[in-house]
Structures are given as C-alpha cells and as structure tokens.
C-alpha cells in the first residue's frame, strides 16, 4: 500500500508538473505499475521529430527494486537493444545501482539525456556504438531513417 501511495504521488507529481516532451499515462487505468510514456525525440539530435513509445514496468517491490524500461518503438541507438524487446541500458536502472530515492521522473530525464547524447562506451549494441564513434554522419543518417520509418 505504501508503495502504491508513492507511485500515486509520483504520477500526480508528474502530471501536475510534466516533463518536457513527455506524456505519461497508465497502460491500464487500474494498474499503477504499468506506465506508458511517449517521448519526443530531443531536438538537436538525430531523433528529433520522432515519437518514441516507452513502457515502464514498476516491480512490486518498487521503490526498492528498479523499474524496467523498454522501448516499444524501434530506435537506432547504441544503448537500446535492437530487438523486439528494446531494453535500455541505463546505469541507474541496474539492480545494484538503483537507489530507492530515485524517482521515475529522474529516470525519464536520464533517458532523454541519453537520447540526446548516446554513450557508446556503455553500449549494448556494439555495432551501432562503433559506427557512432567512427562514422557519425552515417549513424545520424540511419538514425533519422529509422525515425522516419518507425517513430512517426
């Protein structure tokens, strides 16, 4: 119950004070633990103009366990797995790194920051990370193509 209270509080907080470029709603109205986030690609990045659907699943033990983030929209990014899961690698979301005081808003802020500035050293898609490091133009182009293809 206390955990639910916290989630409700966070949701109310984020609805009252929305994060720029993010719309958040519950996937199902009666399930607080499933959030649907639509994030606009950050301007000044190859993802500008795209709309990315991110699903956040809060475990029962939240906030003591980290939430799980998945990209439902395909994205060409070194830190997001290029499969149907679309799992995102964020240091903050690893079980040993997670701190209960962290809020979902913080996580989303970080996601936005990572979209704007990929972290090739912390990559899950080595190929993309390599391209990002060596041939930035090609990376930008592919990323933009994917945005046009999937993230409209």
Partner 1 sequence: MEESHYLNCKSRAQNYNPPVDLRLLDYVSIYDNNLMCAICRCPFVDPVVLSECDHVFCRDCIRQSWNSNTSYTPLGPRGDCPTCRTPAKLGPRSATSKILVNLVDELVVHCPKRDDGCKAEVRRCEVQDHVNIYCGYTVIECTDDDCTLPVRRKDAAQGCLHFGVSCLSCHKELQKWKLEAHWRSECADRRVHCDMCKSSVFYRDLEAHRKEACPAMSVSCPGKALGCTSRSKRGHAELHAKSCTFAKLAPVLLKQQERLDEQEAAQKEMSRKLEVLEGGFQNMQGILYPPGVETSQRSADNSLTPSLQERLFGSGTAESTTPTGTAAGYDWTESAVDEDAVSPAETMHTAFSSATSPRQRAAPLPPGPRPADLPEPFSSDFDIASPTGFPPPATNGGPYASPLHHLLSMHESLRDEMTRVSSALSELDGRHSMQILNENLRTREEISYLAAQTAGLQRQVHWLTSSALQRQQGRSPTPGASSSGAGGAMMDAGAGAGVEAAVGAVSTAATALRGAARMVNVGGNGSGSGTGTGMRRGTSEEGRTKL
89 is catalytic: yes
Q: Is 63 in the site for partner 1 (CB under 8 A)?
A: yes
Q: Is 65 in the site for partner 1 (CB under 8 A)?
A: yes
User: CB–CB of 69/53 below 8 Å?
Assistant: no
In eight-state DSSP terms, residue 65 is S
Rounded CA gap, 73 and 85, in Å?
A: 10
Rounded CA gap, 14 and 113, in Å?
A: 18
Q: Is 136 in the site for partner 1 (CB under 8 A)?
A: no
Q: Is 20 in the site for partner 1 (CB under 8 A)?
A: no
The sign of the torsion formed by the CA atoms of 62, 68, 71, 72 equals negative
Q: Is 29 in the site for partner 1 (CB under 8 A)?
A: no
Select which of 80, 89, 93, 104 is catalytic: 89
Closest CB 55 distance from partner 1, rounded Å: 23
Q: Which two tokens stand for residue 130?
A: 């390599």
Cβ neighbours around 23 below 10 Å, total = 14
Closest CB 49 distance from partner 1, rounded Å: 22
Closer residue to partner 1, CB minimum distance, 3 or 57:
3
In eight-state DSSP terms, residue 56 is E
Q: Is 61 in the site for partner 1 (CB under 8 A)?
A: yes
Closest CB 64 distance from partner 1, rounded Å: 4
Residues that bind partner 1 (CB under 8 A): 1-3, 5-6, 9-10, 61, 63-65, 95-96, 99-101
């Amino acid at each position: 119950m206390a955990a639910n209270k916290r989630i409700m509080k966070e949701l109310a907080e984020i609805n009252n004070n929305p994060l720029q470029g993010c719309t958040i709603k519950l996937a199902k109205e009666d399930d607080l633990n499933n959030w649907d986030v639509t994030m606009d690609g950050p301007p000044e990045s190859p993802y500008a103009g795209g709309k990315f659907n991110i699903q956040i699943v809060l475990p029962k033990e939240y906030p003591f366990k980290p939430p799980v983030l998945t990209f439902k929209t395909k994205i060409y990014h070194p830190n997001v797995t290029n499969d149907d899961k679309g799992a995102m690698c964020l240091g903050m979301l690893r079980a040993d790194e997670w701190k209960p005081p962290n809020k979902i808003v913080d996580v989303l802020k970080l996601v936005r920051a990572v979209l704007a500035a990929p972290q090739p050293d912390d990559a899950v898609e080595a190929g993309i990370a390599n391209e990002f490091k060596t041939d930035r133009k090609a990376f930008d182009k592919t990323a933009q193509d994917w945005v046009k293809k999937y993230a409209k």
